[in-house]
Structure 1
Amino acid sequence: MERKVLTRLLVLAGLLVVAFVGTVATLNLTLYSASGFVHSYLDTLARHDVESTLDIPGVSLDRKASTKLTAPGALGDLADIHLVSDTDNRDGTHSVKYGYAFDGTKGTTTFHVEQTGARLGLFSGWRFVESPVSTLQVTPKNDAEFDANGVHLASTGGASVPDNFLVFTPSSVELSHSSAFLTAPKTTVLVSEVGGTVQAAVDIRANKTFVADVQKELRSYLGDCVTQRVLLPTGCPMGKPITDRIQNDPTWSMTAYPTVAIIPGSKAGTWQVPETPAIAHLVVKVKSIFDGTISNFDQDVPFTVRYLITFQANGDPLITAQY
């Protein structure tokens, strides 16, 4: 009887050993494989768990660039993570290619990992040969500030100067700008190459509010100009020299106001209204210096306007005429 019990125990122990060995083998082929290691990394990105990401062997942010886009709130929505290939390079390294998607935009990235020994003497250990981090170089044209995945940023060099930001690989970054007077269309940049540098620009332009405010300001300014009862209104773009003798106070009115367009200025961070036509109307009674006849000068007087626009410390635009 005791012999049968011992035999059963030995058989059970053998089955447990076989099961354990099989489990270890299965885990080394899945969770603790090269592809499983990379999948674990990608899973931390999908969960926006940056703390766990940085605990993974071989992941580091040791480049000279801003780390503001590696914060949890700056990460894109990584999904549809799937293994494409896992190549054993026969030197202890593997080239692991994964596919994924960010909001429907698909991409692939190849990671290079190397074996680092065994955990607990049983499970394979891995690390990234090259940290899965890339550089996104952003040039915010015509202004220093922009948004990246909802994070408000500014180029340290100022308007139109490129600045470098570290991003985990892969990353999807939506760049935009929206402020009181400026706007930029949203641009999505996919960063998929480990260790690479991707260049992107934010094309910042005057928005409708900016144009409307300058148009209103200009109409008011020209409206004040035409109240001056002189041939050459002071500080104004219109004027009409007349050699004959004027017999009464000149009367000005506006026939066609300039249609404002705002474009980037020649200096970064400045804006300008390019040379734009307009028409005023002048009525004045004149006496000829040749024969003394009196007549009415009643004509349209074309002129042009051109302005430089800068922003003051309080954010309000400062409009300066350029004649």
Structure 2
Amino acid sequence: MRRELVTWSIVLGLIIAAFVTTVLIVNSTLFSSSGFVRSYLGALARHDMPSALQIADIHLAEEHGASSDDGSGATPIDTTGAGSMLLAGSHDLLRPSALSTIENIALAERTVNANGTETVTFVFDLDGNTSRSTFTVERDGSRFGVFADWKFVTPPLSIVRLTVANAQGFTANGSEFVTPTQDTPSPYVVLTPSSFDISHTSTFLTAEPIRVSATDPGKTVRARLDVVANDAMVAQVQREVNDYLDECATQVVLLPTGCPFGQPMANRIVTTPEWSMATYPEVTLVPGSATGSWLMPATDGAAHLTVDVRSIFDGSVSTFDEGVDFTASYLVTFMPEDELLITAQYPN
């Protein structure tokens, strides 16, 4: 009986020792500060948005709920479980289809701070570029009384203040979005780390793509996407301007109605004026003063006029056969079904 008791005591001791060892190992790996952050990064890498938000203890307010006090209409995010910071902005970029590609996640550094928090730095490939993010976490009780729980001191969120100039639509990581107002910075809440390839392509507009990366929790990243008229728009305006000027040249008067060129004369004309185009103004387009408008600035061109005239002084007849310089400016506005309205701008 005594021998059996000793045997069972040894077995029980080994079980307890194995359990303690297991707890220590698990707490130093899976349930460590780095394991907690790695779990969050792993959810991002899987594009598992719900799990990433749950791990970070971030709760999205309803999009049509309370808005921020700055009048921007941005929706606040409840981060009370993850820290005291409150971020406000659009949730549009918080969708799996807009998440980045995160690969090769590796722990770079772990530091225990004097106040009991721990700072953890990971390196990874973010959309193919080597990046790093540093997170500060702290203990948040325990699980089953033995496994450590953690929480972020600063929520893994950043703000991207994006200005889309001369348009409202943009594409981020292949998904399409619309800013509330063009030419004005709009705040977007994003998970950290994130990277976005932002661009614009439409029937008449284009933009040189930009890459926006947010790798520092709690920080604001500012970016601007400059949208310009594309080659198709310039070519169409050029064709329509040329056609309009050709139509002006068919008028058999010295001062064609509604046209940028004309030639007043003191002498009497003897033959019918004949106009032709010598040089068409080269179309360039810049943003207009009104939203959604584009302006062709005053640009030089030249017509040619041939007409016989009689001098009012001596009655002699001569031929006026010369170029007539002019400048032209046009306002271009978008119409439904991808049509352009081109309106001549006359000097004041």
Same fold (TM over 0.5): yes
> Cα RMSD over matched residues?
1.6
The one-letter code sitting in structure 2 at the alignment partner of 1:72 is: P
Contact kept? 2:40, 2:56, Cα under 8 Å: no
Residue pair 2:56, 2:156 contacting (<8 A) in 1 also: no
Is residue 3 of structure 2 the alignment partner of residue 11 of structure 1? no
Q: How does 1:227-266 map to 2 (within 5 A)?
A: 227-266=250-289
* Aligned 1:93-242 pairs, distance under 5 A: 93-157=117-181, 159-242=182-265
Tell me the residue number matched to 2:47: 48
After TM superposition, give the deviation of residue 148 of structure 1 in Å: 1.3
Q: Within 1, Cα distance between the matches of 2:271 and 2:56?
A: 89
Distance 2:46 2:172 in 1: 19
Q: Secondary structure in 2 aligned to 1:70?
A: coil
| 1:36 partner letter | G
Query: What residue number does 1:273 align with?
Result: 296
**Cα drift, residue 92 of structure 1:** 2.8
| Between 285-294 and 3-12, the greater mean CA deviation after superposition | 3-12
Deviation at 1:4, TM superposition (A): 5.4
Three-state SS of the structure 2 residue aligned to 1:153 is strand
Unaligned 5+ segments in structure 2 are: 61-76, 78-86
Contact 1:58 1:130 in 2 (8 A): no
Contact 2:118 2:137 survives alignment (8 Å): yes
- For residue 304 of structure 1, the aligned residue among 314, 322, 327 is 327
Paired amino acid for 2:202:
S
Instruction: Tell me the number of residue pairs that the alignment of Structure 1 and Structure 2 aligns.
Output: 321
Check whether the contact 1:170–1:190 (CA below 8 A) recurs between aligned residues: yes
How many percent identity over aligned positions?
45
Q: Shift of residue 15 of structure 1? A: 2.3
Assess if the C-alpha contact under 8 Å between 1:58 and 1:129 holds in 2: no
Preserved contact between residue 163 and residue 225 of structure 2 (Cα < 8 Å): yes
Closer, same or farther: CA 43–126 of 1 in aligned 2, 3 Å:
same
Q: TM-score, normalised by structure 1?
A: 0.95
Distance 2:306 2:201 in 1: 46
Q: Which runs of 5+ in 1 are unaligned?
A: none
Could you tell me how far apart the structure 1 residues matched to 2:315 and 2:234 are? 49
1:90 maps to which of 90, 94, 114: 114
Equivalent pair of 2:267/2:309 in contact (CA under 8 Å): yes
Partner of 1:67: 91
Corresponding position of 1:33 = 32
1:89-129 CA deviation, whole Å, 9 max, x = no partner?
13331111111222222222111111012110110110111
Distance of 1:90 and 1:277 partners within structure 2: 71
- SS state of the match for residue 103, structure 2? strand
CA distance in 2: counterparts of 1:144 and 1:229, whole angstroms: 46
Deviation at 1:232, TM superposition (A): 0.6
Question: Could you tell me how far apart the structure 2 residues matched to 1:204 and 1:216 are?
Answer: 22
